[in-house]
Structure 1
Amino acid sequence: MKDLKGKVALITGGATGIGLALALQLAAEGMKIVLASTNMDRLEAAATQVRSAGSPEVLPLVCDVSDLASVKDLHAEITKALGAVDLLVCNAGVTTSGDFHLHREGDWKWVYGVVLDGTTNCIQLFYPDMVKRGSGHIVLTGSQAGLVPNWVTQHGPYTSAKAAVHALGSAMRPEAAGHGVGVTTVIVAGTQTDIMKSERSRPERFGEPLAVEVKKREARRIPPSEVAEKIVRGVKEDAAWVATHPDLKDRTKQYFDEILAAYDR
């Protein structure tokens, strides 16, 4: 999707972090932007910034992507207000901290609900429209933690949910290409976002927050604007994968070399 001007982009998790940074850059490209998140105050604040960045139209909408009914409402509102979505960015994400054995049923369901179900819910609603039109692009926000699950510990469900997102993007890409739709999966590592404040958005149906003291890990964290720049370039080039941290290439190779060695034993 080389020409973005005038097209419609939907960004879940769009009120802060990578989602907001991406919205700002897409606004500068002249795209109409739909920001979806769970908190209207943060959405309105983000929408003000995106309008100032040059978007011809900005629509902030509350949506819980873990709830299919909420995503259906989102689809209906966008279709009525702006028409079809050209660029779907499945970016909403949450995480927990603590050992696997400390995670309860609600913790697993919440993280999987947002990270994985949230992605598939959006694909169910918006991908068929793209297939019918024969055009569009989907961006899936993955994670280095999902690509190399033993690289970062203490994030339990998040690592496996993100690994599933990677598999989904890779599996969808050849099929989607046959319908004129691009799919880009983004491998995100340390970025300056609010993901560690995830519990503030946890719906009551998933129970109380998981309260575990975990030592903060030292890591190189880049500004979300750097991630957004790479994503925009990836969309324009129809890249299968976008990786945010080139310095992690060797660590990734080490992990896959360990897997490949099993074929020789």
Structure 2
Amino acid sequence: MKDLKGKTALITGGGTGIGLALALQLAAEGTNVVISSTSAERLSAGASQIRSASPNVKVLDIVCDVSDRSSVKNLKSEITKAGLQVDILVCNSGVTTSGDFHKHREEDWDWVYGVVLHGTTYCIHEFYPDMVARGYGHIVINGSQAGMVPNWVTLHGPYTSAKAAVHALGAAMRPEAAEHGVGVTTVVIAGTQTEIMKSERSRPERFGEPLKVDIKKRAATRIPAEDVAKQILDGITEDKGWVATHPELKARTKQYFDEILAAYDH
């Protein structure tokens, strides 16, 4: 999608981190932006930042729990009431837990899958058909290096497997969506300066108490959210099927897929 001016982008998880950084960059291009998350406070602060930087675009901040289908339907209703249509959908919301597979409870799996996987599918279900009807649009699905190479980072089992699923979703959608003039970009994100490790602050009460497991913090080099956002913006404007934010991880990714390919030789 070359011309972003006057278009409208919806970014879930848009109050902080990569979502907010991308909202700021899209608004600078003349794109109206709708940011959503579960925190009214963080959304309001983010929206104020966007309005200050780009006063000539429309900015909406709408509380939405993407793990709740009815909340996503309400999000669409509020956007429609504001006289906007979603031309660019960025499925960015993400949460994670930390701990061994066997220590995760049902509600931990339900919460992470609810946000990462179901939240993505709920948004696509609500907004993609309208793009097909109009014959244009773009969908961004934010994945993770942890989902691309599932044995690379341990102790995030639900998150890792849910991210692997959204990669498959993006890859499967892209050729079909292209027939309708809709682009699909799947983003493989690695270490970034975000607040995802504070995910439990956003955990709805229906998913119970946070998972409490003592684990050692893993040392990691994290790049600014703005750098990742710029790569995503390029993915939208250049209609890239895949964006990988950390090229230095190519060798590790190849190692993983070489192990799989080797199985076909026997």
Instruction: Give TM-score scaled by structure 1 length.
Output: 0.99
Which runs of 5 or more structure 1 residues have no equivalent in the other structure?
none
2:112 matches 1:116: no
* Corresponding position of 1:168: 169
Corresponding residue SS for 1:82: coil
Q: Counterparts of 2:215 and 2:16 in 1: how far apart (Å)?
A: 24
Q: Counterparts of 2:15 and 2:187 in 1: how far apart (Å)?
A: 19
2:163 matches 1:158: no
AA matched with 2:27: A
Q: Percent identity?
A: 75
| Aligned residue pair count | 265
* Corresponding position of 1:126: 127
Shift of 1:130: 0.3
Q: Counterparts of 1:24 and 1:228 in 2: how far apart (Å)?
A: 9
Runs of 4+ in 1 over 2 A off after TM superposition: none
Q: Counterparts of 2:144 and 2:215 in 1: how far apart (Å)?
A: 20
Q: Counterparts of 2:80 and 2:247 in 1: how far apart (Å)?
A: 38
* Corresponding position of 2:77: 76
Shift of 1:82: 3.1
Cα distance per residue 1:80-109 (max 9 Å; x no partner): 213210000000000000000000000000
* Corresponding position of 1:14: 14
RMSD in angstroms over aligned alpha carbons?
0.6
* Corresponding position of 2:232: 231
AA matched with 2:167: H
Shift of 1:53: 2.1
2:251 matches 1:242: no
Does the CA contact (< 8 Å) of 1:11 and 1:19 recur in 2? yes
AA matched with 1:105: E
2:97 matches 1:96: yes
Shift of 1:117: 0.2
Does the CA contact (< 8 Å) of 1:8 and 1:82 recur in 2? no
Corresponding residue SS for 2:82: helix
AA matched with 1:241: W
Corresponding residue SS for 1:199: helix
Q: Counterparts of 1:114 and 1:82 in 2: how far apart (Å)?
A: 27
* Corresponding position of 2:35: 35
Instruction: Give TM-score scaled by structure 2 length.
Output: 0.99
Shift of 1:160: 0.4
Cα distance per residue 1:135-191 (max 9 Å; x no partner): 000000000000000000010100000000000000000000000000000000000
Higher mean alpha-carbon deviation, 50-59 vs 32-41, is at 50-59
Q: Counterparts of 1:103 and 1:169 in 2: how far apart (Å)?
A: 27
Q: Counterparts of 1:132 and 1:80 in 2: how far apart (Å)?
A: 19
